[in-house]
Amino acid sequence: MERESLLATLIVLLGGLALQLFAVWPGRIGYSCASRRLERLHWLVLWWPAAPALTVAAWLCGWALSQPDPVPGHVGRLIFIAAVPFAIVGGRALVRAAWSLCHSPGVYGIVTVGLLRPRIVVAPELAKTLDERAMQAALAHELTHVRHRDPLRIWLAQFVTDLQWPWVPARRRFIGWLATLEYARDDEARAEGVDGADLAAAVLGSLRFQLGIDAAAATLIGHPEALPARIARLLRPLPIGPPDKEPPYLAVAAGLSVVWLAAILLGILSGERLIDSLLAVSS
């Protein structure tokens, strides 16, 4: 059998299995910190269940490196049948990701769209209903989405969440991250001089326009579930705490690189025995 076809099938099966197993992890962050740091921590938590699946994929790549092409073994029907549910979940995630790219934002008030070149789009009706200060607050909030390329980040987060379908904790992690994303952007706009009450008025004013956005877009109102807490937060004074520190991205990236390199080496050294046993059982 062709080596790459077998590798792809095994990655779908074993990587998909690892992703589904870790998707049930609740991933709750139980402490409070500045909104920007909290958003970054939620971002890491959102991606964490993908790490074991990537480790399995690295191990399989190591195995493939040690194999001739074509490989002598062949895949039994059992492996193909077992891989089908994971292929369906992956296919669904890809279709939804493509759909959100082609799909227009629908009914909106003010929204940031564009994965590579984010831009702000405003419904003309919104400008008529908001006063000048609320409109400026809305624009300042959306500008922070542009600065951080949030449409791209939302699109990627939605994709990794869809790969963990249908698990509720994965969906909860996504909604939790979206809520902290809006907190962080609100605080950034307020730190630049926007009044919280003006921003709250803009959010409430744009509510009537925004029904069921399902595109890769960063909106003003964010996720509806998080809205009451966010409005209450905007009406309180801006929290002033110690300087915001970034989460330890470099340490996480270095740690994961070491783990993935070790997985590749392990795949080269011991993959053949395990994969041969798996193929023998399935045929």
**Checking DSSP bridges between strand 217-219 and strand 110-113, what pairing results, if any?**
antiparallel
Q: What angle do CA 22, 25, 27 make, to 5 degrees?
A: 130
Closer to Zn ion at the Cβ: 39 or 182?
Answer: 182
Both tokens of 203, joined, read: 């959010």
**Closest alpha carbon to 75 in 20, 17, 163, 11:** 11
Q: In whole angstroms, how close is the CB of 220 to Zn ion at the nearest point?
A: 5
Closer to Zn ion at the Cβ: 162 or 182?
Answer: 182
Q: In whole angstroms, how close is the CB of 100 to Zn ion at the nearest point?
A: 17
**Of the ranges 16-24, 51-59, 161-169, 179-187, which one interacts with Zn ion (CB under 5 A)?**
179-187
**Of the ranges 101-109, 180-188, 198-206, 250-258, which one interacts with Zn ion (CB under 5 A)?**
180-188
Q: In whole angstroms, how close is the CB of 218 to Zn ion at the nearest point?
A: 5
Q: In whole angstroms, how close is the CB of 265 to Zn ion at the nearest point?
A: 44
Q: How many CA atoms, within 13 angstroms, populate the side-chain half-sphere of residue 217?
A: 27
Closer to Zn ion at the Cβ: 24 or 229?
Answer: 229
Q: How many CA atoms, within 13 angstroms, populate the side-chain half-sphere of residue 194?
A: 28
Both tokens of 215, joined, read: 């595109």
**Closest alpha carbon to 159 in 104, 237, 100:** 100
Closer to Zn ion at the Cβ: 55 or 180?
Answer: 180
Q: How many residues interact with Zn ion (rule CB under 5 A)?
A: 1
Residues that bind Zn ion (CB under 5 A): 182
